[in-house]
Amino acid sequence: MSENLNFDDTNKLPPQNIEAEEAILGGILLDPDAIGRVRETLIPEAFYISAHKDIYQAALRLHSQSKPTDLLSVTSWLTDHDFLFRIGGRNKLATLVDRTVSAVNIDALAELVMEKYYRRQLAKAASEIYHLAHDQNEEIVKQLETAESKILEINNSAIASTSVPTLLNEILVNAYSSIEEKSMGISPSGVKTGFYDLDAMIGGFKPGKLITIAGRPAMGKSSFLGNLAFNISENELLPTLIFSLEMTKEEWGDRFLSQDARIDSSYLQQGKITKHQWEPLAQSIGRLSELSLYIDDSPVITVNSIRSKVKRIVAEHGRIGMVGIDYLQLMEGTDGDSYNLAFQIGKITRQLKQLARECNTTIVMLSQLNRGVESRTIKRPMMSDLRESGRIEEDSDLILLLYRDEYYHPDTVDRGIAEIIVSKNRGGPTGTTKLLFDAQFTQFKNLLK
């Protein structure tokens, strides 16, 4: 009996290699060490023949109990669990042994069987996508996301099963070369944010990292995210992308124009432009138009939709400097009670971290802080103030907390100063850097040296 799959093209058999499956099982029955060489990479579901799957599972059970997987032991286990008749009896097992010379090639055979399994999974997904395309009751955007998710799941499983551990010696050689290149200025330590003191502390934004920026309302989180995207696009000449769930793309456009042309955004929105402001406004539009800075203000954002759009930009430009999300708690799937919310937040942050590595970019997500900050005498935030802080703290490589003392104490000596508190920096120092905050134009700037 074979695996039951529904394929539209009945003239073709699903991808499989029966001989390889038989050789693997025969090798396991012959060689006591063979099962240990394949158990981490070869899953029972990869066997096309159901009897082969049962035999392999019996061998895995015996091996997990530190028992031998020879012909007698496997036969006994299958008999005790009423599986012997189902797999074809003792003759089936004897035939597997008779047809196998040795287990010397069992590793390569296991890879072959896994490859056929993923091809069957791909064919199955293609069939499901085909039927999905004919469902007129679902929006096409949702269908495309579902289709992409099915393919991505197979892709991630295949990558995970074929990845090979790297010897420490090779890692250290590569590390030395990387350090040498950075010291010579050949390879940058990270994408520069444009904020000198912050870059000095964190070494820029590293590709493949997940960064959280958090703060209470009115601290300037969205403005800081926009400034980062602008600086990276302008100074590093890299495309950046902001997924905005709070502001529209038109509002972002007004904000960037206001900052660059030094015209109050309220005047831009009302069209109250003096005759002396038209020229700098036109010049700003010309400068900003040259930047590869993308804004996506879709009202519903999922990790799958982010992945699709990021990959599209990477395919066009070859690389993307930063992906910003404003903000985490508004993403699709973060509704429900507090327990489910914490679970969903954790799931999303894990997926975003994987996406950062997959696309070799930096993902910067904004997050809220708990209201408990307001009840304290000292309002300066701490990492424990993060909402659903457990998984956010765990998954983030870098956590930046924003604080402006003048918001709480108008007569403070730090008027116009914003603190960027590096509360977590995996592999680097923590501490506080300061920036100027221009409240009129909601813009962060370097302190004058």
Per-10-residue mean pLDDT of the chain, 449 residues long, equals 58 87 92 87 91 93 90 92 90 88 87 91 88 82 78 72 63 69 60 91 90 89 93 92 88 86 78 81 87 87 84 88 86 56 80 88 89 79 76 88 90 90 89 91 84
Q: Judge if 241 and 378 occupy the same domain.
A: yes
Q: Are residues 135 and 235 in the same domain?
A: no
Report the distance separating Cα 38 and Cα 264, nearest Å: 66
Q: Which of 388, 400, 292 is nearest to 345 (CA)?
A: 388
Domain membership of residue 317 as a residue range: 189-445
Same-domain status, 125 and 202: no
Query: Is the residue at 155 inside a domain?
Result: no
Q: How far apart are CA 22 and CA 95, in angstroms?
A: 9
Question: Does 357 share its domain with 213?
Answer: yes
**What pLDDT is attached to residue 161?**
61
**Angstrom distances, CA of residue 132 to CA of 103, 142, 151, 153:** 43, 10, 14, 17
- 217 and 113 within one domain: no
Alpha carbon of residue 293 to chain centroid: 21
277-300 pLDDT, tens digit each: 888 888 888 888 888 999 988 887
Given 95, 118, 147, the domain boundary residue is: 147
pLDDT digits (tens, 9 = 90+) for 387-437: 666 778 888 899 999 999 998 888 888 888 999 999 999 878 999 999 999
Structure letter (DSSP) for residue 293: E
209, part of any domain? yes
Confirm whether 182 is domain-assigned.
no
Residue 24's domain is classified under what CATH number?
1.10.860.10
In contact, 142 and 332? CB cutoff 8 Å:
no
Contact 220, 437 (CB under 8 A): yes
| Rounded distance between C-alpha atoms, residue 154 and residue 158, angstroms | 6
pTM, entire model? 0.67
| Within a domain: 217 | yes
Of 130, 147, 164, which marks where a domain is finished? 147
The single-letter code of the amino acid at 179 is: I
- Check whether residue 217 and residue 123 sit in a common domain: no
* 422 DSSP assignment: E
Extended strands (E) in 88-195: none
pLDDT at 25: 93
Let me know if residue 174 belongs to a domain.
no
Pairing of strands 210-214, 443-445: unpaired
State the burial class of residue 209 (Cβ atoms within 10 Å of its Cβ: 0-12, 13-18, 19+).
buried
Query: Strands 417-425 and 431-438, how do they pair?
Result: antiparallel
Neighbours of 213 (CB within 10 A): 27
* Preceding peptide of 130 cis, ω within 30°: no
Based on the fold, state whether residues 193 and 305 are members of the same structural domain.
yes
Residues 351 and 253 in one domain: yes
Q: Do 68 and 200 belong to one domain?
A: no
Tens-place pLDDT, residues 124-147? 888 888 888 888 887 787 777 788
Last residue of a domain, one of 147, 181, 203: 147
**CATH number of the structural domain spanning residue 233:** 3.40.50.300
Same structural domain for residues 125 and 23? yes
**Given this model, what pLDDT does residue 338 score?**
46
Query: Which tokens hold the place of 39?
Result: 């158990």
Number of domains in the chain: 2
d(Cα 219, Cα 405) in Å, to the nearest integer?
Answer: 9
- Measure the CA angle with vertex 65, ends 64 and 69; round to 5°: 80
Q: Do the domain assignments include residue 262?
A: yes
Q: Is residue 12 part of a domain?
A: no
Q: Are residues 440 and 305 in the same domain?
A: yes
Asked if residue 372 is part of any domain, the answer here is yes
Q: Are 389 and 243 contained in the same domain?
A: yes
Is residue 402 classed as helix, strand or coil in its secondary structure? Answer: strand
